[in-house]
């Protein structure tokens, strides 16, 4: 039963909520124990809220999932967990996220509510509308960053928010490209909106989102710091973005973006060097 519950709440997807910690890192408040605790609690809030949305999505799509080659193995579609039990878990997780967020900071609550409403709209309507589907996903990541800033009450640069949007858009369009690559002629049965995305359009969207990420991140390092040291990290960001684009577009990788990122050594190395560079910069600034 526990194994099925874990499948239901999709812990593999929790990594997306790491964006909640972005303000903690870039405000350099990670040396403050109280700020760290609040940021982690905000992270837990989003994990609970996102898990409740995954359950809602499975409840709504249960009949369609039963006909899908792999999704039929999900706890609800396979019948290993009843709809009533899943709905109960969904409500508990949502209420838990609201109650906990109110203890973290009152301003985190509207972020959680906005995130849940956005994802309900996505599940019911927006995921069927071309462009709006990936835009909604991207805005969900921005809400995570805003919540992280509100949790510890720090300023978050507008450049960071815009950069977050473009990074998320890059991942969302990359996922659409991966779905079309792996499923091919069955892609529209899996997700109807994919019929509105041809390869050239997806390629253009990925390129634009990568360009937006590169520009906004570069402007952040230039405009938000008097010292020029942060500009060094642009090198690692550019390499990582170009490598990701190569994997998605040129090598026709059919895997999900998170699978590509976590399995490609050059990409992981660029992320590691990016992190190390910022640690050194924080020590020197």
Query: Do 177 and 244 form a contact (C-beta atoms < 8 A)?
Result: no
Kindly state whether residues 164 and 285 are assigned to the same domain: yes
Kindly state whether residues 29 and 151 are assigned to the same domain: yes
Mean pLDDT of 70-76: 68
**171: pLDDT strictly greater than 70:** yes
Kindly state whether residues 151 and 196 are assigned to the same domain: no
- Which has the higher per-residue pLDDT, 247 or 254? 247
> Of the given ranges (3-17, 94-108, 210-224), which has the lowest mean pLDDT?
3-17
pLDDT per residue as tens digits for the range 114-170: 999 999 999 889 988 999 999 999 999 999 999 999 999 999 999 999 999 999 999
pLDDT averaged over the chain? 87
End position of a domain, from candidates 130, 155, 180: 155
End position of a domain, from candidates 155, 179, 208: 155
> Of the given ranges (62-71, 166-175, 262-271), which has the lowest mean pLDDT?
62-71
**187: pLDDT strictly greater than 70:** no
> Of the given ranges (104-108, 151-155, 251-255, 269-273), which has the lowest mean pLDDT?
251-255
pLDDT at 165: 97
Could you tell me which residues come within 8 angstroms of residue 50 by beta carbon, excluding any fewer than 6 positions away?
A: 13, 14, 16, 17, 115, 119
For 5-16, the DSSP string reads: HHHHH-GGGGGG
pLDDT per residue as tens digits for the range 257-284: 777 788 889 999 999 999 999 989 988 8
**93: pLDDT strictly greater than 90:** yes
Q: Hey, what are 152's tokens?
A: 């510890």
**71: pLDDT strictly greater than 80:** no
Kindly state whether residues 121 and 219 are assigned to the same domain: no
Residues above pLDDT 90, as percent of the chain: 56
Report, in angstroms and rounded to the nearest whole number, the Rg of the chain calculated over CA atoms: 19
Confidence of residue 85 (pLDDT cuts 50, 70, 90): confident
pLDDT at 24: 94
Kindly state whether residues 149 and 197 are assigned to the same domain: no
End position of a domain, from candidates 116, 135, 155: 155
CATH assignment at residue 78: 1.10.357.140
Kindly state whether residues 117 and 26 are assigned to the same domain: yes
Kindly state whether residues 196 and 118 are assigned to the same domain: no
Kindly state whether residues 90 and 174 are assigned to the same domain: no
Query: Do 93 and 9 form a contact (C-beta atoms < 8 A)?
Result: yes
Mean pLDDT of 217-245: 93
Query: Do 14 and 144 form a contact (C-beta atoms < 8 A)?
Result: no
Kindly state whether residues 194 and 230 are assigned to the same domain: yes
Kindly state whether residues 146 and 177 are assigned to the same domain: no
Q: Which domain holds residue 233?
A: 157-285
Confidence of residue 68 (pLDDT cuts 50, 70, 90): low
Q: Hey, what are 242's tokens?
A: 């170009």
| Top-confidence range, 105-114, 190-199, 222-231 | 105-114
Kindly state whether residues 103 and 44 are assigned to the same domain: yes
φ/ψ (deg, to 5) at 67: -95, -10
Could you tell me which residues come within 8 angstroms of residue 222 by beta carbon, excluding any fewer than 6 positions away?
A: 231
Could you tell me which residues come within 8 angstroms of residue 14 by beta carbon, excluding any fewer than 6 positions away?
A: 47, 50, 51
Overall domain count for the chain:
2
Query: What 3-state DSSP class applies to 105?
Result: coil
Kindly state whether residues 254 and 265 are assigned to the same domain: yes
The C-alpha angle 160, 163, 166, rounded to 5 degrees, equals 155
**60: pLDDT strictly greater than 90:** no
**CA 175 to centroid of chain Cα atoms:** 11
């Amino acid at each position: 039963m526990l194994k099925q519950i874990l499948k239901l709440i999709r812990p593999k997807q929790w990594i997306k909520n790491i964006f909640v910690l972005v303000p903690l890192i870039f405000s350099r408040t990670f040396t403050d124990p109280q700020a760290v605790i609040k940021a982690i609690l905000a992270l837990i809030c989003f994990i609970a809220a996102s898990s409740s949305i995954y359950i809602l999505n499975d409840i709504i799509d249960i009949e369609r999932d039963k006909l899908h080659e792999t999704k039929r193995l999900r706890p609800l579609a396979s019948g290993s967990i009843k709809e009533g039990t899943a709905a109960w878990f969904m409500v508990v997780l949502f209420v838990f996220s609201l109650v906990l967020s109110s203890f973290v900071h009152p301003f985190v609550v509207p972020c959680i509510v906005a995130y849940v409403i956005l994802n309900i709209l996505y599940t019911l309507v927006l995921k069927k509308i071309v462009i709006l589907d990936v835009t909604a996903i991207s805005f969900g990541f921005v809400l995570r960053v805003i919540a992280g800033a509100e949790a510890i009450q720090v300023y978050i640069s507008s450049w960071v928010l815009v950069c977050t949007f473009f990074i998320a858009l890059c991942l969302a369009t990359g996922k659409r490209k991966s779905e079309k690559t792996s499923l091919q002629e069955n892609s529209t049965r899996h997700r109807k909106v994919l019929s509105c995305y041809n390869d050239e359009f997806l390629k253009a969207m990925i390129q634009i989102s990568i360009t937006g990420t590169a520009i906004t991140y570069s402007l952040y390092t230039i405009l938000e710091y008097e010292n020029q040291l942060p500009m060094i990290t642009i090198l690692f960001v550019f390499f990582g973005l170009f490598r990701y684009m190569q994997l998605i577009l040129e090598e026709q990788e059919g895997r999900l973006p998170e699978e590509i990122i976590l399995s490609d050594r050059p990409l992981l190395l660029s992320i590691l060097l990016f992190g190390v560079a910022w640690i050194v910069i924080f020590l020197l600034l």
